[in-house]
Structure 1
Amino acid sequence: MRDPSPASHAIAVEIAGRRWRVSSDGHDISIPLRFNEAQPTFFGAPAASAEPITAGSFVGDVRHGGSCNCSVHTLAPHCNGTHTECVGHITQERLSVRDLAIRHLSAALLISVMPESSAEISGDRVISLAALIKAIDGATLSDYQALVVRTLPNDASKLTCNYDAGPMPPYFSVDAMRHLVDHGIATLVVDLPSIDRAQDGGKLAAHRVFWGMPAGSTSAATATRQHATITEMAFIDDAVADGSYLLNLQVAPFVIDAAPSRPILLPLSPA
């Protein structure tokens, strides 16, 4: 039997008027969430946990005599692993990521960024406009609908990092975020716990710029980019090269502002 050629594992697609060849060899860049085990945590949230259901004599754990496994899982999507959030994160209206995260396939550019020392807050590291442009390295950002950002240095400690126990995580400058908005990026995926400083007095300035929402507003009607989504706490292994990909963003259909997600990168090349 003849082995299939590499070409048989690729398809051609057209995205925003541009044709691409898509490889089927995808890269899952979500962090596996291991309940009751080592996992990433942020902003003082408890770790995600699981407990077997008990009802009368039934226990939902085969190891303890149950007929099947059935557990209650507790987590804070914003703080326990890879998640995708919508503008409902900062509005008084309870907008749902299930209704707004409808861009499931996007042409994405993966870049690796070295955050710079902040000129404003000693010890902070910032993804500045200059650092962002350097990482984009001449690519035409407007050719893409999504941007995936891997911060440097990069290692597997991001899979289980307690972001409250170490130095302040890097975050985006407002100018860098405006640059993404100006170039039409509607889907942003980062390996950070937040695109804003963890303790910023509640400003969430980068979030507001990305969703086109004025400072201080809590009304969804004021957001000009309700279609945009932010995925945080991804992990992009060094084996995944910078470049062009088809982003398949899979989001759990939770009717809340943020939900666990599984972004998958499929290599792209011009067709």
Structure 2
Amino acid sequence: MKAVLTIGQKEYQIDFSKPLDISMSLRDSLDNPIAWYLDKPEIQPVRIDGWVGKVSEGQSSTNFNTIVFNPHAHGTHTECLGHITHDFYSINKQLKTFVFLSQLITVVPIKSGDDFVITKELIQSEFKSNGQEALVIRTLPNGGDKLSKNYSHTNPPYLDVEATLYIKEQGVKHLLIDLPSVDKEKDEGMLVSHKAFWGINDVVKIGEEARMDCTITEMVYVENKINDGFYILNLQIAPFENDASPSKPVLYNIENV
């Protein structure tokens, strides 16, 4: 189904029948991607007094599962500034629109000491200013192991704070990345890139410069067959009243370019 979307002053023709899903599914399996030292998610039928909520076991007319997971640790998720603030802010309240012009870029993180870092220069070399509100960062190598990787204690690549500030200065409001965090895994709680992107200096008393409607989406997976360039992004979340929600970002090719 083709449609014309108006974003700002421009019209974009897309085909809704050809989505490019860049989310990772959540599974009750050790093959589910995992971060932050947690175990796998659990998806299990309810069991009450010998009754099992599973049709295949012959006791129930419905499948009736309970799901236990952590959005930050178990796959693609979108978070608001409430992730790091003293006061509570919900992604369900802060993210109010869901369709954006987006650019997809691919970078190779640079070795820096014991780390691999995405630098400002890497972002600058790929970023093309076109009024995009969203930026998707794919890192190389980009193997299918990202779909089942346990990131705990692996010191994954991360965004240098100067790169994050550059992204913010370009007007990007929705940052998506295929890593478990924009910050270093073990950084003593500094979270410098999170704070820089959301414009927060004091997590207890956030100021007027705080970017309330901006989001960070982590642990996306962008297949190699999807080329760098501009897309329409539909950023879908579940309506959790929480700082973060599992999410399903979907890209659409722009056909009138």
Query: Aligned runs of 1:44-55 on 2, under 5 Å?
Result: 44-55=37-48
Query: How much has 1:154 moved relative to structure 2?
Result: 0.5
Query: Partner residue of 2:166?
Result: 179
Deviation sequence 1:159-192 (CA, Å, 0-9, x none): 01000254x1110011111111111100111100
Would you say 1:163 and 2:155 are equivalent positions? no
Q: Which residue of 2 aligns with 1:20?
A: 12
Which residue number corresponds to residue 138 of structure 2? 150
Deviation string, structure 1 residues 104-157 (Cα, Å, up to 9, x no partner): 000000000111112xxx220101001111232xx22x5200001100111110
Superposition deviation, residue 19 in structure 1? 2.4
1:234 aligns with 2:220: yes
**Judging changes above 3 Å, is the alpha-carbon distance between structure 1 residues 222 and 69 closer, same or farther for their aligned structure 2 residues?**
same
> Is residue 195 from structure 1 mapped to residue 188 from structure 2 by the alignment?
no
SS at match of 2:254: strand
Question: How much has 1:92 moved relative to structure 2?
Answer: 1.4
- TM-score normalised to structure 2 length: 0.94
- What TM-score does the superposition give when structure 1 sets the normalisation length? 0.89
Look up the equivalent residue of 2:134 and give its one-letter code: A
Q: Is the 8 A contact 2:73 2:180 kept in 1?
A: yes
**Aligned residue for 2:63?**
69
Letter of the structure 2 residue corresponding to residue 27 of structure 1: L
Q: Secondary structure at the match of 2:93?
A: helix
In the alignment, is the contact (CA less than 8 A) between 1:252 and 1:260 conserved in 2?
yes
Q: Of 103, 106, 112, which aligns to 1:109?
A: 103
- SS of 1:20's equivalent in the other structure is strand
Match of 2:239 in 1: 253
Map 1:209-228; keep pairs closer than 5 Å. Answer: 209-214=196-201, 216-221=202-207, 224-228=210-214
Q: Which runs of 4+ in 1 moved over 6 A?
A: none
Tell me which amino acid in the other structure corresponds to 1:159.
Answer: L
CA shift for structure 1 position 21: 2.0
Q: Are the counterparts in 2 of residues 105 and 246 from structure 1 also a CA contact under 8 Å?
A: yes
Are positions 1:98 and 2:98 aligned together?
A: no
Moved more, 11-20 or 150-159: 11-20
* Mapped contact 1:41–1:160 kept (Cα < 8 A): yes
Aligned to 1:268: 254
CA distance in 2, matches of 1:85, 1:217: 15
Residue 15 (structure 1) shift: 1.1
Conserved 8 A contact 1:79-1:193: yes
Asked if the contact 2:86/2:203 (under 8 Å) is kept, the reply is: no
Kindly indicate whether the alpha-carbon contact (under 8 Å) linking 1:248 and 1:265 is maintained by their aligned counterparts in 2.
yes
Task: Rate the CA distance shift 1:246–1:94 in 2: closer, same or farther, 3 A.
Answer: same
Q: CA shift at 1:52, angstroms?
A: 1.5
Structure 1 vs Structure 2 CA RMSD: 1.5
Distance 1:132 1:126 in 2: 11
Partners of 2:204 and 2:143 in 1: CA distance: 37
Query: Matches of 1:170 and 1:16 in 2, distance apart?
Result: 34
Tell me how far apart the structure 1 counterparts of residues 124 and 162 of structure 2 sit (CA, whole Å): 11
- Is the CA contact (8 Å cut-off) linking 1:27 and 1:266 kept in structure 2? yes
